[in-house]
């Protein structure tokens, strides 16, 4: 696995606070967002890089594991206790002193290493050596509307995933016709060494299966896994953006040798909205007002993207283009409490018809102009 410096990706120090990490991410996300750089592959790759960095460093638990173990600690299914036990076992092997706390429920360091390192990176290949390995993580893409990103979404998706073969329980062998292993007596493990240093290890003859045989399973043809289509109910939390990844635990590929299944990651793509523009955690929306409302001022009810209605005060003599701020009605923040703000850009609408009466009113209003409204347009 390529080791990455997530702090460098966000341009922050390793001792940066959570707030400094969040601010750095927002600044870079606005600069490199695919919507701001259409067709720019470099910007898209950079956006993915900073999104991954924020996903890990913005989560206190993931950041702690990353600081201790690097990118390995940020992977789905990583077991910190096993990793620490393995680290101690290495020290024991080098110095001859027993690991602190023993082997944490394992019979030897071979078992620890097998659980953590054996088979990682070789997902999908069946093992007959008794090695246990976590299943591969799967990724799929889901396109949603901006309003779904604001409010959250419960939906169903279909995925093709591999699972442990029910016939052979993942061994890949036709166990019904295989005799009991002559070396381990069907236990799958054998004793190694004598006295206080004796350990149990996987039986080398049967690979931990407890039975001898080379005939493949008739259901999976020896693969140990089968594939099937599955419908999943998933929840997309409010506040996601293009590039956000939603994790569905245990719905990835099947593990090897009774290893834990991998996880499913849903990469979100948010479609642009015809009326609403997202900028970070803030939303921007045009607010049509009448000439009278703009001149005299008014309190008007405005529907917001989060489904609520708010009463907004339009000050007297409001010009087109003026922004009105509605606090707390922007995007929910994925990392942290609260939400962004909603900005309303006033757009003055004149009547589309009305005939001479409207024209006379406009002519009378023109007397109120004390100067040419275009006098400041100098280049």
Instruction: List the CATH number of the domain containing 323.
Output: 2.60.260.20
CB atoms within 10 A of CB 252: 26
Q: At 58, list the tokens.
A: 């913005």
Integer Cα distance of 221 and 174 in angstroms: 9
Helix or strand or coil: residue 269? strand
- Residue 281 has a pLDDT of 93
Residue 246 falls inside a structural domain = no
224 within 8 A of 171, measured Cβ to Cβ = yes
92 inside domain: no
Q: How far apart are CA 260 and CA 365, in angstroms?
A: 75
Instruction: Report pLDDT for 3.
Output: 63
Question: What is the domain extent for residue 281?
Answer: 276-367
* Positions of the chain with pLDDT lower than 70, given as ranges: 1-3, 76-78, 82-133, 192-200, 213-214, 256-258
User: Strand 189-192 relative to strand 199-202: parallel, antiparallel, unpaired?
Assistant: antiparallel
Please report the pLDDT score of residue 273 as a whole number. Answer: 93
Cβ–Cβ under 8 Å, residues 236 and 153? yes
In a domain, 259, yes or no: no
Q: How many domains does the chain have?
A: 1
CB-count burial class (<10 Å; 0-12, 13-18, 19+) for 200: middle
Residue 352 inside a domain? The answer is yes
Q: How many CB atoms lie within 10 A of CB 114?
A: 22
Is residue 374 domain-resident? no
The pLDDT assigned to 86 comes to: 59
For residue 116, the model assigns a pLDDT of 43
Phi-psi region of 352 (alpha: psi -120 to 50; beta: other; left: phi over 0): alpha
In a domain, 104, yes or no: no
Q: Is 327 contained in some domain?
A: yes
* 185 domain residue, yes or no: no
> 210-244 burial string, b = 16+ CB within 10 Å, else e?
bbbbeebbeebebbbbbeeeeeeebebebbbbbbb
């Amino acid at each position: 696995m390529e080791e990455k410096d997530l702090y460098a990706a966000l341009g922050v120090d390793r001792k940066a606070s959570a707030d400094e990490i969040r601010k750095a991410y927002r600044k870079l996300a606005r600069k490199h967002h695919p919507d701001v750089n259409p067709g720019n592959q470099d910007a898209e790759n950079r956006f993915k890089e900073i999104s991954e960095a924020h996903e890990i460093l913005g989560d206190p638990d993931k950041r702690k594991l990353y600081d201790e173990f690097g990118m390995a600690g940020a992977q789905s299914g990583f077991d910190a206790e096993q990793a620490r036990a393995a680290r101690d076992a290495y020290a024991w092997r080098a110095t001859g002193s027993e690991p602190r706390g023993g082997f944490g429920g394992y019979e030897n360091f071979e078992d620890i290493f097998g659980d953590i390192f054996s088979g990682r990176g070789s997902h999908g290949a069946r093992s007959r050596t008794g090695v246990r390995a976590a299943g591969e993580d799967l990724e799929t893409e889901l396109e949603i509307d901006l309003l779904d990103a604001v409010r959250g979404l419960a939906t169903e998706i279909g995925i093709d995933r591999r699972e442990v073969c029910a016939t052979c329980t993942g061994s890949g062998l036709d166990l019904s016709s295989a005799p009991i292993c002559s070396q381990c007596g069907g236990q799958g493990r054998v004793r190694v060494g004598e006295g206080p240093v004796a350990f149990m290890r996987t039986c080398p003859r049967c690979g931990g299966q407890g039975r001898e045989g080379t005939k493949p399973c008739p259901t999976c043809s020896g693969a140990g896994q089968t594939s099937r289509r599955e419908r999943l109910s998933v929840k997309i939390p409010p506040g996601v953006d293009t590039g956000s990844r939603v994790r569905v635990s245990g719905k990835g590929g099947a593990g090897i040798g009774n290893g834990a299944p991998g996880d499913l990651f849903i990469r979100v793509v948010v479609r642009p909205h015809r009326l609403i523009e997202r900028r970070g955690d803030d939303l921007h929306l045009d607010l049509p007002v009448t000439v009278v409302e703009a001149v005299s001022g008014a309190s008007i009810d405005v529907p917001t993207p989060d489904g609520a209605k708010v009463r907004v005060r339009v000050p007297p003599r409001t010009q087109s283009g003026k922004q009105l701020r509605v606090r707390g009605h922007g995007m929910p923040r994925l990392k942290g409490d609260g939400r962004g703000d909603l900005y309303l850009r006033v757009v003055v609408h004149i009547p589309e018809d009305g005939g001479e009466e409207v024209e006379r009113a406009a002519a009378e209003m023109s007397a109120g102009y004390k100067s040419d409204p275009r006098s400041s347009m100098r280049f």
